[in-house]
Structure 1
Amino acid sequence: MITLVTGGCGSGKSEYAENLVAGSGCPCKWYVATMEVWGDEDRRKVERHRKQRAGKGFHTIERPRGLNALLIPGSPEQTAVLLECVSNLAANEMFGGETLPDCAPELAGAAGEAVVDGITSLARQAAELVVVTNEVGLDGISYEVETMEYIRLMGWVNQRLAKLADRVVEVVYGIPVVLKENGSAGQGGRI
């Protein structure tokens, strides 16, 4: 089962996703962290997330890109995986490296395919896969070309993931709202 969890910054989506995996009943719980740590603020965020999931039985794998090559230990039917988060993974795939690449649409397309293929690979390795993503580009501001390509990439990736997912939940102010359940659009109710 694939659950896509989305929401804005600080919405409570990470805690909600962690609780889904923690309550999955799967004895093997993996947290796939995609954030590359660049400074003190990033380190504080990572530490906050570690404390938040402490005691929930997670094993952490740090994987900022290349999910397609990741092999999750254990048997799939006993495994739950939490991927946190798609926006970091997409940025890492698109902009990974020391210098910013030419942000041609082909590059964004290749990054999007890498993200979706990697998540599809994770889904085959787990009974339960919970994927956290972010709402980006809702502010209506025009950015530099690189940022606009990233926003388009995230829109494309999120649409593809929503189609793949059995369940899509948006967390708004800590309240989970079901957008899709078992392949059909939800009624916007709480779960």
Structure 2
Amino acid sequence: MMILVTGGSGSGKSAYAEDRVVSLGDGRRIYIATMHPYDEESMRRVKRHRLLRSGKGFETVERYTNLGGLLLPQDSIVLLECMSNLVANEMYQEDGAHEKTVSEVFRGVRELSEQVRHLVIVTNEIFSEAACYQGDTVRYQEYLGKINQLLALFADEVVEVVYGIPVWHKGGRIS
């Protein structure tokens, strides 16, 4: 089963996704961390997320690009956090997919979902901001939007977390 979890910054989507993985039963719990820690702030965020996951039985695999090249045990329950970071990495890192980001990320997710028992993916809802962007930021939003749409079609469940409250858009409990 694949579950897509979305929400705005600070919405509670990470905590919901972690709890959802735990609720999916026993098995090897793997957290795929996509945030490449490059400064002090990102190191603090990584530390905070590790603290939130402590005691939940996750083993962490850091993967910044090339999701399709990752091999995981079939019985595993995987949390991929987060799609927004993975897309940026694929677009801008030297070893990234660049203009092939959309197809390569989706291919990687499909391959991953075929390997594991359950896959929970966290992504960000960044599309309701009133700000106007230009250049690479617009292209980033376009790529992330296309990937999120593909993931939503492919997923068994799509849930948006708003103020810590899950709202199902597909599968689960439709609210």
- TM-score bracket for the superposition, by shorter chain length: over 0.9
Q: Which AA in structure 1 matches 2:105?
A: V
User: Which residue in 1 is equivalent to 2:135?
Assistant: 145
User: Which residue in 2 is equivalent to 1:43?
Assistant: 43
**What SS does structure 2 have at the residue aligned with 1:147?**
helix
Q: Does the CA-based 8 Å contact 1:3-1:168 persist in structure 2?
A: yes
Structure 1 stretches of 5 or more lacking a match?
none
Aligned partners of 2:125, 2:143: CA distance in 1, in Å?
12
Give the aligned CA root-mean-square deviation in angstroms. 1.8
Aligned partners of 1:146, 1:62: CA distance in 2, in Å?
25
Aligned partners of 1:90, 1:27: CA distance in 2, in Å?
28
Moved over 4 A (4+): none
Q: Does the CA-based 8 Å contact 1:136-1:154 persist in structure 2?
A: no
Instruction: Report the alpha carbon displacement of residue 130 of structure 1 after superposing the two structures with TM.
Output: 0.1
2:5 matches 1:5: yes
Instruction: Report the alpha carbon displacement of residue 140 of structure 1 after superposing the two structures with TM.
Output: 3.2
Instruction: Report the alpha carbon displacement of residue 39 of structure 1 after superposing the two structures with TM.
Output: 0.7
Percentage identity across paired residues of the two chains: 46
2:76 matches 1:83: no
Describe the superposition over 1:40-87 as per-residue Cα deviations: whole angstroms up to 9, x where unpaired. 110110000000000101110000110000001x3x1x2100000000
User: Which residue in 2 is equivalent to 1:68?
Assistant: 68
User: Which residue in 2 is equivalent to 1:126?
Assistant: 116
Aligned partners of 1:28, 1:45: CA distance in 2, in Å?
24
Describe the superposition over 1:21-52 as per-residue Cα deviations: whole angstroms up to 9, x where unpaired. 11211321100000001111101100000000
Aligned partners of 2:63, 2:102: CA distance in 1, in Å?
16
Structure 2 stretches of 5 or more lacking a match?
none
Q: Which AA in structure 1 matches 2:82?
A: C
Q: Output the TM-score relative to the length of structure 2.
A: 0.95
**What SS does structure 1 have at the residue aligned with 2:15?**
helix
User: Which residue in 1 is equivalent to 2:93?
Assistant: 96
Aligned partners of 1:156, 1:36: CA distance in 2, in Å?
22
Task: Specify the structure having the higher radius of gyration (Cα).
Answer: 1
Q: Does the CA-based 8 Å contact 2:65-2:89 persist in structure 1?
A: yes
Note the 1:159-178 alignment, pairs <5 A.
159-178=149-168
Note the 1:172-191 alignment, pairs <5 A.
172-181=162-171, 187=174, 189=175
